[in-house]
């Protein structure tokens, strides 16, 4: 376990360094007084909310670029969009892999999952006819994933985007993108192989999977974890994990499919409907 912990530390360091070059990009649009057509809630990866890396709207480099590209498409068709980051520590992966350190890391994931649930509830209560998109990268994808079962029946959740998800299950009925799809059974998240991290033992419901995009490239140290590899976090695997959303000025492979999931729809306000029913009774 110590060997794996040290390897994951290398991954975390690479992820932090990988995001450092793009710090300073503009944050998400400020929330407007009126409810938007679409609202984006983004969860950063490990270490992406620490110190000088706390830019990108608090979402981290990968999720924030995904938001900016997605927002352009939404605004082009005349809809309004706002965004917020999941307010959680997004702590770095522990360096020495001690039990207490891993407990702190998992505490960060649990805190993020709870924060996302609370922020989602607050928003949909205030804006019951808006569509919502959830997005996360790496640890942030785990934060999102751990809410999807509970949100399956919520009509306002239009789509979810999981990039390099540590909770990824190959048998999930998600819309799978990335080179991991080229190999049958590939794309198992690292958390599914570690009892201390394990979550989501059952696949997502089809109704949730059909509006969830899961992006994973072959050899990714986190979402395509290989427990039999001699060095599970070798430089090549780390490079794959930190390579997402690097095409400045170009849409990523998941942007258009995500946009297509969030087509304009009319969502009924349950409170308004109840008032109408009471008035007519």
| Domains of the chain in sequence order | 38-261 (3.40.50.1820)
Residue 4 in this model has a pLDDT that exceeds 90: no
What number is the average pLDDT over the span 157-183? 95
Predicted local distance difference test score (pLDDT) of residue 264? 83
The pLDDT tens digits of the residues spanning 64-89 come to 999 999 999 999 999 999 999 999 99
Nearest residue to 86 (alpha-carbon basis) of 126, 35, 127, 137: 137
Separation in Å, CA 79 to CA 37, 134, 225: 6, 18, 39
**pTM to 2 decimal places:** 0.82
Total residue count of the chain as it appears in this document = 281
Residue 7 in this model has a pLDDT that exceeds 60: no
Lookup result for tokens 């349950």:
270
Predicted local distance difference test score (pLDDT) of residue 93? 73
Enter the DSSP assignment of 190: G
Residue 8 in this model has a pLDDT that exceeds 60: no
Predicted local distance difference test score (pLDDT) of residue 201? 64
Instruction: Strand 175-177: give its sheet, edge to edge.
Output: 81-85, 38-43, 131-137, 157-163, 212-215, 175-177
């Amino acid at each position: 376990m110590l060997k794996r912990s040290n390897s994951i530390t290398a991954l975390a360091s690479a992820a932090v360094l990988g995001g450092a070059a793009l710090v300073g990009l503009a944050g998400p649009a400020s929330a407007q007084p009126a409810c938007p057509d679409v609202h984006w809630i983004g969860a950063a990866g490990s270490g992406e909310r620490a110190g000088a890396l706390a830019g990108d709207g608090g979402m981290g480099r990968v999720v924030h670029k995904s938001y900016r590209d997605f927002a352009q498409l939404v605004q082009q068709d005349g809809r309004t969009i706002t965004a917020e980051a999941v307010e959680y520590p997004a702590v770095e992966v522990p360096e020495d892999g001690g039990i207490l350190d891993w407990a702190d890391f998992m505490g960060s994931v649990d805190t993020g999952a709870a924060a996302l649930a609370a922020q989602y509830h607050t928003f949909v209560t205030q804006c019951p006819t808006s569509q919502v998109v959830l997005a996360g990268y790496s640890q942030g994808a785990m934060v999102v994933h751990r809410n999807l079962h509970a949100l399956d029946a919520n009509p306002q959740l239009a789509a979810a985007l999981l990039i390099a998800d540590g909770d990824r299950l190959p048998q999930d009925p998600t819309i799978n993108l990335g080179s991991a799809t080229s190999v049958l059974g590939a794309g198992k998240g690292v958390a599914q192989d570690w009892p201390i991290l394990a979550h989501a033992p059952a696949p997502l419901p089809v109704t949730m999977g059909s509006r969830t995009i899961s992006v994973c490239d072959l050899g990714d140290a986190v979402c395509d974890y290989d427990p039999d590899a001699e060095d599970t976090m070798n430089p090549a695997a780390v490079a794959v994990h930190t390579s997402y959303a690097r095409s400045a000025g170009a849409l990523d492979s998941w942007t258009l499919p995500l946009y297509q999931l969030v087509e304009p729809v009319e969502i009924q306000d349950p409170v308004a409907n109840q008032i109408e029913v009471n008035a007519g009774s």
